[in-house]
Structure 1
Amino acid sequence: MLHLRLLVPDGRTDEVVQAVERTVGTAHLAVVPGASRDPRGDLVMCDVAREACDGLLAELRALGIDETGSISVENIDLSLSKTADEAEEEAPGEGADAVLWEHLEEVTHEESSLSLTYLAFLALATMIAACGVVLDNAILIVGAMAVGPEFGPLAGICTALVQRAPLLAWRSLIALIAGFAVAMGLTTVFSLVMDGFGLFSRTMLAADRPNTSFIWNPDLFSLVVAALAGVAGMLSLTSAKSGALVGVAISVTTVPAAANAAVALGYGDFTQVWGSSGQLLLNLAGIIAAGTLTLLTQKALWATRRGRIRRTSGTGARS
C-alpha cells in the first residue's frame, strides 16, 4: 500500500474526495479541514493499493492539485488493517507489477543529474576497473561494476523515450556522455601515474588476460547480456526492487570497457581502444533498447487494465 497526503486549496476538497472515493483500491480516507496553511485549504489523506495509484495520480494532476496544492506519496512498510487488505484485493493486478510513472520519472531525473558525486563514483569505478584489467583480476572488475552509477542516466533515457520527455532525455544523455568522458580522461592520467610508479606497464596490458580479455573483444553475447540487463534493470526500478540493480550493475561491462580503453589510450594501443569502445557502445545501446522495450511493454499491459484499475461509479473508499 501507498499513503497519499494531499494539500488541497479551499473549494477543491469535494472534487478530490470524489476522485479518491471512485478509485478502486483506496482505503482510510481522512479529511482535516483547514489544516493546510500554504496553500490555505484542507489536508486529505488516504491509502491506496500500488496498482491503483497511477490512475489516481493522473486524475489528481488533471484536477491541477499538483500546481495549486501538493501531492505526496509515501510507501507503507507495514499496514495492519483488514480494510487495507480488502482494498488491495479489490484493485486489479498485482502491486509488484504496477508502474508508478510519476515516481519513475522523478527517480530517473535525480539519478541522471551530472553532479560531482556522480562524476566521482564513475571515475573511481573506472579507476578500480583499470586496476582489474591490468592485473587480470575478475574480483576488481566485479567491484568496479557495482560501484558504477551509469545505470541512472541509461534508465533516464529509456523513461524519456517512453514518456516523451525531451528534457529528461537530454539531461540523461549529457550525464552519460560527460560522465564517461571525464572518467576515461581521469583514468588515462591515473594509468600513466601508475606506470610512473612501476605498478602498470605496457607489457601487462599486452599480455594474455584470460579473465578480462572479453572486455575489448565484443561479440554477440555482449549484446545479449546487455539486453537482459536492460530488462532486469527497468523491472527492478518499476517494481521498487532496487536491490536487483546490484545484479544488473555487475552483469554488463560498461565501466570495465571504458577503463580498458582509457589504459590502452595511455599506451597508444589503439586496437584495444577501438575494441573496448565498441564493447562500451554495444552495451549502452543494448541496455537502452531493451530497457525502452520493457517500459513500452509494461505501459501497454497496464493500458489494457486501465478500465478496471480506474475509478468505477458507485465504488467508495473504505474509511
Structure 2
Amino acid sequence: MRYLEITVPEGRRRAVLDILEAEGVDYVVSDETSGRGYTAVVRFPLPTRAVEPILDRLRQAGVSDDASVVVIDAETVISEEFSTLREQYGHGGPSGTRTSRQVLRTKARELTPPFSIYAVMLLISAVVATAGLLADSPAVVIGAMVIAPLLGPALAANVGIVTGDDRLKWKGFAYQFVGVALVVVASIGLAVLARLAGLEPAGVDVVVATELEERVSPNLFSLAVALGAGIAGILSLTRGFSEAIVGVMIAAALIPPSAAVGITAAWGMYGAAVGAGALVVVNVLSINLAALATLWIAGYRPQGLFEVSSTRRPTYTYAAIFGIGLLVLAAPLAGVTLLDFQTTELESAAEDEAETVLAEPEYEGLEADDVTVELDGNYPIQSVDRVVVTVANDEPGPEPGLADRLHEEISAHGDESLVVEVEYVVSERRGGENDGQLSRTPQTADTSDSLPSIVPAGTASS
C-alpha cells in the first residue's frame, strides 16, 4: 500500500478531485496558502497496483512536472472505500506486487551512488579482485563482487530508456563505461606491480596458474550469467527481492573479467586480454538487453498515447544495438564452445582407444594412467595442440611401437596433424606394511640404449 500527497496547480483542483472520485479514492484535501502557484494539497491511500494508472490519469489532467508528488509506504489502511479499491486493482493477481513507474525511477536513482563514492568503491573492488585472481583465491574474488556498486547503473540506464528519462539513461550508461574502465586500469596497475615484485614467477603461464582460462577464452555459456543477472536485477527492483544479492550477480559478470583484462595485459598476453575484453563487452550488452526486454515486457513505459510512441523508438533502437552487438560477438564465442565440445569428445575417445590398445596381450603389464588433451594457448580461440597419454609400466623405459600404435588409433578421431605424445611412469610394488600398494614415479630412460620416456608419435622416429 502507498500513501500519496499531491500539490495541485492552480486551475486543476476540480479535475483532480473528479478523477479521484471517479476511481472511488478516499481522499483528504486542504487549501495551499504558500502563494507558490498551488491551490490545494490532496492526500489519499492507494493499493500499490493503483499508483501508476491513477498518476497517469492525473498527469493527463494537468498534474505533471509542475506538481509535487510524494509516495510513501503505508502500513495499514482501514477504510471501506480503500477495501473496494484494493479488490478492483487486485483482480488478476495478488495486489501490491508491481512497483509503479514513478517509484521505479526513484529506486533506480537511489541505487546509483554519487560518482566519488562509486569510483572509490570500484577501485577497491578492482584491487581486491586482481589480488584474488593472482592469488587464485575464489573467496577474495567473491569479496570483490560484494562491494562493487554495479547494480544501480545497469538498471538506471534501462529504466531511463523505457520511461523516457534521458538524464537517468545517460547517467546509467556513463557510470557503466567509466566503472569498467576504472577496474581495467586499476587491475593493470596492480598486476604490473605484482609482476615487477616477482609475486608471480617469470616464465609461468599466468592464465593457467591463476585459473583465468574461463575468462580469457569465454564460450556461449558465459551469456547465461549476464542475461540472468539483467533479468534478476529488474525483478529485484520491481518485485521487492534483495537488490544486494542481485548486485553480486551483476558484479560477478563484470568485475572478474575486467580484472582479467588488466592482468593479461600486464603480462603481455594480448590475445588473452582480447578474450577477456570480449567477455566484458558481451556481459555488459547481455545485462542491458535482458534488463531492457524485461522492463518493456512488464509494461514499465509511459502509458499515454503520445508517450508510448516517444519511447518506443528509443527502446527498439537500443534493443537492436544490444542484440546486434551480441550476435557479432557470439561468433567467436560459438567457436570456443565448439572447441570445448570437440576437446571433450577427443579426450573421451582417446581414453577409450588407449584402454583398448593397452588391453592387447603384447602390452601386458601396461595401463593407461592418464589421458589429457592440451591446447596451444593461443587465446582467445585456441586449437588442439596434442594428446598426452601417460602409461604406467613395471619396467623403466618406453615400449617400442606403442606410441605409433596409439597415434594410429587416436588420430582417427582428429585431423591428420594431431600429435599424440606418450609419457611413461614406472609403477613398482613396495614391501613391508605397504605391500601391494602401487606407487608411480616419472622415469627418464637413457637415450643411448633405448627410446626416450616421452615419445611423440607421428612426429619422431626411433
CA gap of 1:16–1:36, structure 2 versus 1, over 3 A, is farther
C-alpha distance in 2 between matches for 1:52 and 1:162 = 20
Structure 1: gaps spanning 5 or more residues = 304-319
For residues 271-310 of structure 1, the aligned pairs below 5 Å read 271-299=271-299
Question: What amino acid is aligned across from residue 32 of structure 1 in structure 2?
Answer: S
Question: What amino acid is aligned across from residue 28 of structure 2 in structure 1?
Answer: A
C-alpha distance in 1 between matches for 2:284 and 2:171 = 16
CA gap of 1:23–1:139, structure 2 versus 1, over 3 A, is farther
C-alpha distance in 1 between matches for 2:6 and 2:300 = 29
C-alpha distance after superposition, 1:121-172 (max 9, x if no partner): 2222122111121112111222222222222222123223323444433332
Quote the residue 2:85 is aligned against: 87
Quote the residue 1:254 is aligned against: 254
C-alpha distance in 1 between matches for 2:164 and 2:30 = 37
Q: Which moved further from structure 2: 84-93 or 1-10?
A: 84-93
Quote the residue 1:158 is aligned against: 158
Matched, 1:240 2:237: no
Question: What amino acid is aligned across from residue 120 of structure 1 in structure 2?
Answer: V
- 1:239 shift after superposition: 2.0
Point out the structure with the larger helix share.
Answer: 1
Quote the residue 1:58 is aligned against: 56
**Secondary structure in structure 2 of the residue aligned to 1:67:** coil
Quote the residue 2:23 is aligned against: 23
TM-score of the aligned structures, taking structure 2 as reference length:
0.58
**Secondary structure in structure 2 of the residue aligned to 1:72:** strand
- 1:66 shift after superposition: 3.6
Question: What amino acid is aligned across from residue 72 of structure 2 in structure 1?
Answer: E
Q: Which moved further from structure 2: 120-129 or 80-89?
A: 80-89
- 1:30 shift after superposition: 0.9
Quote the residue 2:130 is aligned against: 130
C-alpha distance after superposition, 1:288-310 (max 9, x if no partner): 1111111111118997xxxxxxx
- 1:228 shift after superposition: 1.5
Matched, 1:121 2:118: no
Quote the residue 2:264 is aligned against: 264
Quote the residue 1:45 is aligned against: 43
CA gap of 1:163–1:8, structure 2 versus 1, over 3 A, is closer
Structure 2: gaps spanning 5 or more residues = 304-462
CA gap of 1:48–1:292, structure 2 versus 1, over 3 A, is same
C-alpha distance in 1 between matches for 2:301 and 2:60 = 22
C-alpha distance in 2 between matches for 1:7 and 1:216 = 55
CA gap of 1:95–1:249, structure 2 versus 1, over 3 A, is farther
- 1:257 shift after superposition: 0.6
C-alpha distance in 2 between matches for 1:129 and 1:204 = 19
Matched residue pairs, number?
298
**Secondary structure in structure 2 of the residue aligned to 1:41:** strand
Is the contact made by 1:188 and 1:266 (CA closer than 8 Å) also made in structure 2? yes
**Secondary structure in structure 2 of the residue aligned to 1:81:** coil
**Secondary structure in structure 2 of the residue aligned to 1:261:** helix
Matched, 1:169 2:176: no
Quote the residue 1:308 is aligned against: none
C-alpha distance after superposition, 1:1-46 (max 9, x if no partner): 111011223443222222222236x44x111223655444322100
- 1:96 shift after superposition: 4.7
CA gap of 1:244–1:174, structure 2 versus 1, over 3 A, is closer
C-alpha distance after superposition, 1:59-95 (max 9, x if no partner): 222333343331111122x215254444322213434
- 1:249 shift after superposition: 2.3
Question: What amino acid is aligned across from residue 160 of structure 2 in structure 1?
Answer: A
